[in-house]
Structure 1
């Protein structure tokens, strides 16, 4: 049985552990920053090894696979050590905090000959898998454009942490755009021809609060009195909104497919968040910011019709609660099967992860504007 070592004790770390167990692997250890927390989580999950020293864990547990489930800024060193130890690597998005370090890790993994998986994993949402099949079958004709719209209305008072810091892997590009880009690529074609974009920090600052260990429960730590003069504040240096345009090469289209990615992290939604795939002969609309809800088709009848999920796709979805967890389980299952030598469909690896980080670096330069101040 393949042995897995987990880096991270929070929502993602526990989710990765469950996903690999669901894939038939053995979770032999977990590493975290805080001794009491990692011991508590490991005991709760019946994981035999719990520690705070990653190198010691690699040497003691001798895993076949490591699963990196910490914020992106903490990915580089443990991945580098794991590759050196000959481990296959499963990493959550973002791959690292920069394109430069992501490219280096991709090169090291290639040289070592280890397999990698990059968990921009909402491409495995049921309706996205359905849309991928429909586009391949010609349900919308030649694809022409894609629209990905989302508004999260996140609380501005969420305690200051990794999500506010570029060096820690924060920002909405790292933690939202990675998923929607992966979805668009999985449905119409993985080759990204061009990119341009604009980012904006709408937040500015956030309160500093002690005791936040789990990203999923950070809202519970929002201070009750934000006017308290003793409250400390941290400065955000990442984007909370973005608008990105991309062009994708598609085997189903003669011309590049245009893609709009529009995300507002701090603004309220009025209509549904959605993803739409348009073609010359129809369109596919999926509700939800990651395309995880109902799917509708517009075709020859000139009306929108909800389509049921095909039985075989429904049967392929892991039977676990939560859309995030389902997608982790799906990718972990594919990764384990590949490591075992079984035939699997292509899945996102460090190739995609390093490419996405380089693209994010380019977008964050915010230098795509044309100065019009001197127009007549």
Structure 2
């Protein structure tokens, strides 16, 4: 507890790609010891462990749990591969840090949440772009009344992803793919962090406007997948995989805010394959003003509207000074959440952070959006 000697926590990483490496660095920066890493391929996991100076490397997760006896496991694989290793870790009483999506469907996420509660362990759910500097700034400003009572939130993004990105987990619903799992999880977390965590209603539409993607060998790290796009997508020798998940979505939600008497309306609009013309953005509107955050996760410049004009606001020094010293906004947000998680496990007082409660709730909401249909048929109306 507070004032007692701090124990160095041991961490076991599941996954050797971009997220696995990022989680390992985040926990080291938080003062934990990374004692092992597990991957699918012997040669790959051995190479990553050597490069990162991690003492244990293997492909057998249960054996790694037994050998490493970690306090924390960090799950950094695609969402479809989360359920079994998390369940096994919970059975051993490990705290769990899990990247989004929590699992590939709502019922398995709920099951893990209940198991974690029964085990009495702490969990963290890394829908972590709520920790970008401008979002932290917006959270403070809204709490201070800078926009009055929140009324509306708008999250708009267009990624223009290459259609030739090699076929993989991101194209398959059962593997945790889709833009709801890998974009909406972050923007929903951001909206909740700023205006209120209670989600009242949700409805939406999704669209798979990709159809298929080329099958290419050798892709391992999600961050470098673009390097494997075939030069000739019309090559008759190419093999193709079929997408079965959404690449665009439109979601309407209502959040309950402690700062407003009425529900806050939220629009989430994302086009994974379409180009942007204006800047992607997140806007928080209120009865007395608005906050406009540049960028699809609100990580750019923050602008405040009040008394008839917009003004760019500098980042407060204390927020700037608290930012993890690491390159990349994804990595910065992992570092922020890992630091809070470690401190919480060590008994320090910390601000609330996303846990398996949010992870399981978000996964159930994604299931609802995917099955909510295409709207009310009005073709017979006069």
TM-score (structure 2 length as normaliser): 0.98
Secondary structure (helix, strand or coil) at the match of 2:279 reads: coil
Secondary structure (helix, strand or coil) at the match of 1:16 reads: helix
Secondary structure (helix, strand or coil) at the match of 1:27 reads: strand
- What residue number does 1:111 align with? 118
- What residue number does 1:330 align with? 336
Cα distance, 1:366 vs structure 2: 3.6
| Distance across 2 between alignment mates of 1:329 and 1:233 | 37
Say how many residue pairs are matched: 375
- What residue number does 2:227 align with? 220
- What residue number does 1:205 align with? 212
- What residue number does 1:57 align with? 64
Matches within 5 A, 1:38-53: 38-53=45-60
* Contact 1:196-1:368 at 8 Å conserved across structures: no
Secondary structure (helix, strand or coil) at the match of 1:297 reads: strand
Match of residue 364, structure 1, among 346, 362, 370: 370
1:285 aligns with 2:283: no
Unaligned runs of 5+ in 2: 1-7
- What residue number does 1:350 align with? 356
Secondary structure (helix, strand or coil) at the match of 2:183 reads: helix
- What residue number does 1:123 align with? 130
1:32 aligns with 2:16: no
Match of residue 320, structure 1, among 303, 316, 326: 326
Q: Write the deviation string for residues 156-196 of structure 1: whole angstroms up to 9, x where unpaired.
A: 00000000000000000000000000000000000000000
Match of residue 182, structure 2, among 175, 180, 192: 175
Secondary structure (helix, strand or coil) at the match of 2:235 reads: coil
| Distance across 2 between alignment mates of 1:106 and 1:320 | 31
Match of residue 267, structure 1, among 262, 274, 298: 274
| Distance across 1 between alignment mates of 2:53 and 2:43 | 15
| Distance across 1 between alignment mates of 2:361 and 2:170 | 21
- What residue number does 2:97 align with? 90
1:307 aligns with 2:313: yes
1:244 aligns with 2:251: yes
Secondary structure (helix, strand or coil) at the match of 2:282 reads: strand
- What residue number does 2:4 align with? none
1:340 aligns with 2:346: yes
| Distance across 2 between alignment mates of 1:11 and 1:337 | 24
Cα distance, 1:368 vs structure 2: 5.3
* Contact 1:118-1:348 at 8 Å conserved across structures: yes
Unaligned runs of 5+ in 1: none
Deviating 4+ runs (over 2 angstroms): none
TM-score (structure 1 length as normaliser): 0.99
